[in-house]
Structure 1
Amino acid sequence: MREIKFRGKELKTGKWVYGFFCIDGDGAYIINDTSEGIRGDCINVDRDTVGQYTGLDDKNDNEIFEGDILKFGLIKDNFVEVVFGETGFNSEETFNCIGFYLTNHNEYGMGFNWLKWQQNISWEVVGNIHDDPELLKKDKEQTT
């Protein structure tokens, strides 16, 4: 079974914090878990930075979260973003799925569900859309 956890950037320090996610009015909070299994601190985070753990790790055993930027090991400087939402593709029929998927921001504009299907491929977390947005811009510039 997949571990359910979230991360978000703390409003006070800008540091990443990990744990359970909750919303209270206009506030967004990460409740970090403790080694004793009891509720830890309730930390106010920037709601726009909150992302869920996919349940998968990259080739270096780093956890992969929504909002991460992954490098696809078989193609030089090809970066994709981990997204949660609805995606689909057309063949003879249209298939729509909801879940984690990968998308790039270049002219080819792919959206695909390879994250789960291709676990054996050399995905590597190289950043995230909040701290390293230039990686996706660099990828777009290289393909145009």
Structure 2
Amino acid sequence: MREIIFRGKRIDTGEWVYGDLIHERYGTCIQFIITVNPRGKGAPERKPTIERHKATIDPATVGQYTGLKDKNGKEIYEGDILDCSYVNPMTGNKVERLFFVECGEAAFVARCIGHSPFGDIYLHFENTEGNIIGNIHDNPELLEEG
């Protein structure tokens, strides 16, 4: 089954939260679930309890999970910045570029930061070595490095 998860930065703490995206009259929220284990020594064996929480987030920071992971197994979201390498089919040379992830018209797209003779690419990781190095919200300086 496909996972549909969103992330966004909390307005009150600046912390990233992950879960379901909710649009309410007073703002955009992420609802997330945490598992709470019994605290203290000698607590009787119990099933963990599950709590639902909502956090108001900055709508400009919302990003959807792409369903893909980088080479280290980290989930890739819209707004992530990837350090990728690929083999140029014309020259056979290995090329390293930075890309940022966004939702295109039909798929998630990796947009090259700086010049690329191939332009944007649909996001997939066949024959590439992609690694998340930041995101456009926490690391805007990476957008200038291309």
Normalising by the smaller structure, the TM-score range is 0.7 to 0.9
AA partner of residue 25 (structure 1): R
How far off its partner does 1:108 sit?
Answer: 4.0
Q: Give matches, 1:48-67, under 5 Å.
A: 48-67=60-79
Identify the structure with the greater helix proportion. 1
2:124 matched to 1:105? Answer: no
Counterpart selection for 1:80 from 70, 86, 99: 99
Tell me the TM-score normalised to structure 2 length. 0.77
How far off its partner does 1:7 sit?
Answer: 0.4
AA partner of residue 84 (structure 1): C
Larger radius of gyration: 2
Q: Give the match's secondary structure for 1:54.
A: strand
Structure 1, residues 36-56: CA drift from partner, whole Å, max 9, x if none? Answer: 796610100000000000011
How far off its partner does 1:99 sit?
Answer: 1.6
Q: Give the match's secondary structure for 1:31.
A: strand
Against the structure 1 CA distance between its residues 119 and 3, is the aligned structure 2 distance closer, same or farther, given a 3 Å change threshold?
farther
Counterpart selection for 1:127 from 127, 130, 134: 134
> Aligned partners of 1:138 and 1:131: how far apart in 2?
15
Tell me the TM-score normalised to structure 1 length. 0.78
Q: Give the match's secondary structure for 2:145.
A: helix
How far off its partner does 1:133 sit?
Answer: 1.2
Structure 1, residues 44-97: CA drift from partner, whole Å, max 9, x if none? Answer: 000000000001110011100000000003434x110101022xxxxxxxxxxx
Quick check: 61-70 or 38-47, which moved more?
38-47
Q: Which runs of 5+ in 2 are unaligned?
A: 36-47, 87-94
AA partner of residue 69 (structure 1): I
Q: Give the match's secondary structure for 1:34.
A: strand
Structural RMSD (CA): 2.0
Work out the number of aligned pairs and report it: 125
